[in-house]
Amino acid sequence: MAEQKNISMAVLSYLGILVLIPLLTEAKKEPFVKFHVQQGLVLLIAWVIGGILFWIPVIGWLLWLVIAIFSIVGIVAAASGKETPLPVVADIAKKFKI
């Protein structure tokens, strides 16, 4: 299981712009944190796109709901010390080179 510091860095990865904290520190070199940072970056990009599409009724709202659920699942997984791949997000995240 990951150290407490690493768990907190992994959790930060799912809190929007706070993904920059683990991304810009040495913590990102650890595989556990890197996994969550990659997924967090995808979710951050999705939040930005969702913010633009939010003004489109139903589609934008559903996108925001899905992103929020994925963020919560990611936070719970990180807090539990697990590397749970999020559907679709994990596939995109693997392409990010950190």
| Other beta carbons within 10 Å of 59 | 12
**Whole-angstrom distance, CA of residue 3 vs CA of residue 95:** 26
**29-43, 48-62, 83-97, range with the lowest pLDDT:** 48-62
pLDDT of 69-95, one tens digit each?
999 999 999 999 999 999 999 999 999
pTM of the model: 0.88
Q: In one letter, which amino acid is 84?
A: T
- Please report, rounded to a whole number, the percentage of residues in the chain having pLDDT higher than 90: 73
Q: In one letter, which amino acid is 33?
A: V
The mean pLDDT value of the chain amounts to 91
Q: Has residue 53 got a pLDDT over 60?
A: yes
- For 38-54, what is the mean pLDDT? 92
**Whole-angstrom distance, CA of residue 96 vs CA of residue 49:** 18
- For 14-29, what is the mean pLDDT? 94
Residue 86 has what DSSP assignment? P
Tokens for 28, please give them: 């990102």
What was the pLDDT predicted at 2? 45
More confident residue, 28 or 2: 28
**Whole-angstrom distance, CA of residue 17 vs CA of residue 71:** 13
Crossing angle for the helix pair 4-12 and 59-79, nearest 10 degrees? 180
